Structure 1
């Protein structure tokens, strides 16, 4: 399937953004460049995640107080963060991989379905072959091991290697490793599943959004809610 010029431009913009972020994170971890910019890059993911959680709160006072507390804490600790930029990026990298590893891994525990199995079921509107269930569970395990391995390697390099070496792995190689994992899973999927059981990235993204919408609590439990549009 050919891509439109708009899709190509968006893809190129994403690649440039990721490359610039990785370069700035690497130089910041090495003590080069603007300290304030490096701190901003280091705290941006956490601040964004916390901000979104607070924004979704149904209590405006709690949202406002939380945002003010977060901004106040940043202002208070900003000088300390500027003196520990490499540690800040280490915590960011470690926390991200542990969080993603936990997200995938915890779905493998108990009697529930694996995360990728849940997404596949949403894409195929509840119908999955045994072959598809087996593949999606193994793929969930593969992604769990990928993220946890990243966290382990990052920790070992941080503790026992020069920080420049750690930064190459954590900041410069993270995106290529993630891309390689996606490519590897795509090749694996193409070899074990027929075409009709291989959804596109857009279908998976739509299924993930639908899954999150279905998990969100209804605003009024007494009012019947319309079913989600599966298209």
Structure 2
């Protein structure tokens, strides 16, 4: 019982830090000033995450070598990064949603829809109603990812920079939350209680299945 307040307190601190980061990222990008701070906000969190991934990789030394090469290139080209740090956000945003759009979209035409595949890991054999729903949900998420990608590119190249920054740094997590909420409400309306496994639970099942599959035998 004593662990619950501590856990909630940590979650609240993480949430506050995340919101503060998004607001700072938006302020530095939309203002067109504070190049050093903006560049640090754009680069450091992702380089830190990449370092953790490299340190835990199966082939650790090559992975750390690639990270060191990327860090060296950033250091050598830092004046360019400071002057154009918004491109870092653009690449991250478009790459993330573009790859998701491609992955979900391809699964609709080749093989099994992505969310159907996730649901099968949870339920095994799927009822026809769940097959229809998961295919529709995969299509909905594909369209969302495509819309986010095109909106980011369109606003960056043809719209005002503050509006693009608002989309990338502030509205993106809000819109993703709206999609999850809409998908949850759709499940409540369209599926019986026994079939209402959400995308988050399905992805968690997929990750767990992948870990079991790659775990070395004793």
Alpha-carbon distance in 1 for matches of 2:45, 2:102 = 18
Tell me the CA shift for residue 45 of structure 1: 5.9
| 8 Å Cα contact 1:119/1:211 also seen in 2 | no
- Post-superposition offset of 1:74: 1.8
TM alignment of 1:24-63, pairs within 5 A: 24-31=24-31, 34-44=34-44, 46-47=46-47, 50-51=50-51, 54-55=54-55, 57-63=57-63
Give the SS at the match of 2:110. Answer: coil
Q: Distance in 2 between matches of 1:90 and 1:6?
A: 36
Alignment deviations for residues 208-228 of structure 1 (CA, whole Å, 9 cap, x no partner)? 321331453x65xxxxx37xx
2:82, 2:176 → 1: CA distance? 28
SS of residue in 2 equivalent to 1:127? coil
- The answer to whether the 8 A contact 1:30-1:86 is kept is no
Other structure's SS at 1:108 match:
helix
Partner of 1:118: 117
- 1:36–1:82 contact (8 Å) kept in structure 2: yes
What is the root-mean-square deviation in Å for CA atoms of aligned residues?
2.7
What per-residue deviation string (whole Å, max 9, x for no partner) do you get for residues 130-184 of structure 1? 1111111111111111111011011111122110111112212111111111111
Cα distance between partner residues in 1 of 2:193 and 2:78: 52
- Supply the distance in 2 between the matched residues of 1:6 and 1:134 (Cα, whole angstroms): 42
Matched pairs, number: 215
Q: How far apart are 1:199 and its partner, in Å?
A: 2.6
**2:83 alignment counterpart:** 83
Shift of 1:44: 4.4
Secondary structure, counterpart of 2:65 in structure 1: helix
* Counterpart-to-counterpart distance in 1, 2:44 and 2:171: 20
TM-score by length of 1: 0.80
Q: Which moved more, 1:18-27 or 1:204-213?
A: 204-213
SS of equivalent to 1:173: helix
Contact persistence 1:119–1:208 (CA under 8 A): yes
Report which stretch shifted further, 171-180 or 64-73: 64-73
Question: What are the within-5 Å matches in structure 2 for residues 47-196 of structure 1?
Answer: 47=47, 50-51=50-51, 54-55=54-55, 57-111=57-111, 113-124=112-123, 126-196=124-194
- Tell me, which stretches of 5 or more residues in structure 2 are unaligned? none
TM-score norm. by structure 2 comes to 0.84
**Cα pair 1:25 1:89 within 8 Å, conserved:** no
Q: 44-53 or 177-186: which moved more?
A: 44-53
Q: Identify the structure with the greater helix proportion.
A: 2
Structure 1 49/169 Cα, relative in aligned 2: closer, same or farther at 3 Å?
Answer: same
* Structure 1 residues not aligned, in runs of 5+: 220-224, 227-231
Contact kept in structure 1, 2:51 and 2:64, CA below 8 Å: no
